[in-house]
Structure 1
Amino acid sequence: MPTGDVLPLLIALFGLVAVGQLLRLTGAVPTSAPDVLARVILQVTMPALIVVILADARFEPALVPAVLACTVALFSACALGVVLMRLRGASRPAQGAAGVTAAFANTAFLGVPFVLAVFPGSRGAATAAVIIDTVDTTILLLTFGVAFAGAMARPRAPVHSPRVPRLLRAGGSLLRQPMIVAVLVGLALAVAGIALPAALARPLAQVGQTTAVLAFLTIGLGLDLRSLRGQTVPLAGIAAIKLLVAPAIACLVLLLLDVRGDVARTAVLQAAMPTAVVSAIIATDAGCDAQLAAAASVVTTLLSLATLPLVLTCLQAIGL
């Protein structure tokens, strides 16, 4: 999609964010609305969208390098977030919040709908967006992200339960996530070469197509601008890492591997997405700096309106 066509798309999508914020500020909806809509997205619309995409998936050779590039960018951003706050003399909980929020991107709520809009009809891009979200923002966040946030938070009472049962419980919990189930079902259909019956594919597609509107509306409803107070310098650093450095690292990895095309561009765009809201929740729950984590989610989401067109322009300029 030409860059000139992207700006109207972004304005439309972030217009929904503005509507959500207006509804929040005017009290037109209950305070529980963001949580309710988020559950609808995570448990209904996104799983439906994932099954439809993966059942008709196109697994291009570039998919593995694309996932690798995003993963390298993720771990690099996490390390840079910690270093940033350490150089400022911040506490370990603040370092943990910076690491988690700089690393994990909003590849589901924002990334998948955005990629589908930028690359309409590209099965390779759609497949890559979902797989990257599954690996980096679901599996790695719920494993490495949780462990990292806990390690960086204030000391807690030691856990005496055996490691193997804890790992089995964690694995079982992961497999009960509707989006993971949807990924497994979609991949099974694709590998087996079984097409979704039209009677099932059409309603699933219609439900899945509501994801973008609901997701951007939910982001607006959940934005708390008060969390930005007194955090200017660290937030600027985290935003630079998340929105500019991470996609640059992903792009560099793909260029070194000589991987180009829609799948490669999808990987860079997913790395360029703002902080995943759930990563801020995980950081807070672990005992990291809650105010910094929430503020990072807000400021990166707002700034992505400017940085995503910039990233797209750069991708076109270098011919990735």
Structure 2
Amino acid sequence: MQHIIFIFTDIILPVFVLIAIGVLLQRKFKLDMYTLAKLNIYFLSPGLIFIKLYDSSFSLSLFFSVILFCSAFVAVLFFLSAATGRILKLNEKMKLSFSNSVMFYNSGNYGIPVNDLVFKQDPFAMSIQIAVMAFQNTLLFSYGVVAMNSINTGKLKAVLAYFRMPLFYAMFLGILFNVLNISLPNFILTPVTYISNSLIAMVLLTLGAQIAHIKISLTYVPLYLSIIYRLIIGPSIALVALLFLGIDGIIAQALLISTAMPTSVNSAIIAQEYNSEPEFAGQTVIASTLFSSFTLTFVIYIALIIF
């Protein structure tokens, strides 16, 4: 019991304190979400992704193994959520929004701070989380956007949006410089490190600002199922898979913890953009984020005990 209390107070609560500050600042000052989003996407996140991959002692085989695991994991979630949507006889937009709320999780502005706190800034553990985030972002801004857009207009231009973002190039260069053992001069490495160090507080503040005005209704069955699938069923599937595959150590711990994150804020953003049940999408984000304060505590405990 002491371990669980320690995890909640020393890992989960610090995250929610910063999220709460973001909520309060947004309600008081009406922060410019467009500017915050641009800072996170084009300035802070690329800096962290690059420096963590550049400093990490990972291998390309490990990187692609993480991507393969994530692909299989998301595929299982897709079939599970799609079958549930058919059983509940949801309309096409709701089916898609429901599936996205289960498949796409907050591996960036929630997963990175949690990983940082759990593993005490271990570059190896962070590189695993970065790989998960890269996969999630690529899938969300390709399949997720195209699937929603096709319902309304059938346009596929959004599939290229991810490759216009610096996240992809930061990941590529970080891996390249690491593998080729290229040393950067201090006048480049120092500012990139400063940028990376400032990310965690800013992304959590941004997350709080993003969910500040979302209203939640806990009387809708798909919302309950989305929370259960995302926070309980998903990590359970991942745990069984990791044990079956014989994966252990930090790799297994980081992967299991990464699967327990709440629904991605970006899934709600694209639902709003393409008018695909945006109210439901927003509710899944805030509800799963709130409930994750409890479920994630136990997943972290299980990960550290079993692996």
When normalised by structure 1's length, the TM-score is 0.86
Equivalent residue number for residue 217 of structure 2: 229
- 1:140-179 Cα distance to aligned partner (Å, 9 max, x none): 112222233345x4xx4556xxxxxx67x844x4322111
1:58-69 correspondence to structure 2 within 5 Å: 58-59=57-58, 62-69=62-69
Query: In the alignment, is residue 290 of structure 1 matched against residue 278 of structure 2?
Result: yes
Equivalent residue number for residue 251 of structure 2: 263
Change in 2 beyond 3 A, CA 1:102/1:158 = closer
**Alpha-carbon RMSD:** 2.2
Change in 2 beyond 3 A, CA 1:230/1:313 = closer
Equivalent residue number for residue 50 of structure 1: 49
Equivalent residue number for residue 13 of structure 2: 11
Distance 1:3 1:52 in 2: 31
- Structure 2 stretches lacking a partner, 5+ long: none
Kindly state the Cα deviation for residue 306 of structure 1 after the two structures are TM-superposed.
Answer: 1.0
Alpha carbons 1:72, 1:250 under 8 Å: kept: no
Partner residue of 2:199 out of 202, 211, 221: 211
Alpha carbons 2:7, 2:301 under 8 Å: kept: no
Q: Partner of 1:227: helix, strand, or coil?
A: coil
Equivalent residue number for residue 119 of structure 1: 119
Partner residue of 1:245 out of 220, 233, 239: 233
Alpha carbons 1:55, 1:195 under 8 Å: kept: no
AA paired with 1:188?
L
Change in 2 beyond 3 A, CA 1:64/1:225 = same
Q: Partner of 1:35: helix, strand, or coil?
A: helix
- Structure 1 stretches lacking a partner, 5+ long: 160-165
Kindly state the Cα deviation for residue 127 of structure 1 after the two structures are TM-superposed.
Answer: 1.0
Equivalent residue number for residue 140 of structure 1: 139
Equivalent residue number for residue 25 of structure 2: 23
Distance 1:67 1:294 in 2: 27
Equivalent residue number for residue 177 of structure 1: 165
Equivalent residue number for residue 302 of structure 1: 290
Distance 2:79 2:147 in 1: 11
Equivalent residue number for residue 91 of structure 1: 91
Kindly state the Cα deviation for residue 43 of structure 1 after the two structures are TM-superposed.
Answer: 0.9
AA paired with 1:15?
V
AA paired with 1:247?
P
Partner residue of 1:254 out of 242, 248, 272: 242
AA paired with 2:223?
L
When normalised by structure 2's length, the TM-score is 0.90
Kindly state the Cα deviation for residue 42 of structure 1 after the two structures are TM-superposed.
Answer: 1.2
Q: Partner of 2:183: helix, strand, or coil?
A: coil
Kindly state the Cα deviation for residue 248 of structure 1 after the two structures are TM-superposed.
Answer: 1.7
Change in 2 beyond 3 A, CA 1:158/1:208 = closer
Distance 1:255 1:287 in 2: 40
Distance 1:221 1:128 in 2: 27
Distance 1:225 1:307 in 2: 24
> Share of identical aligned residues, percent?
23
AA paired with 1:267?
L
Distance 1:126 1:282 in 2: 27
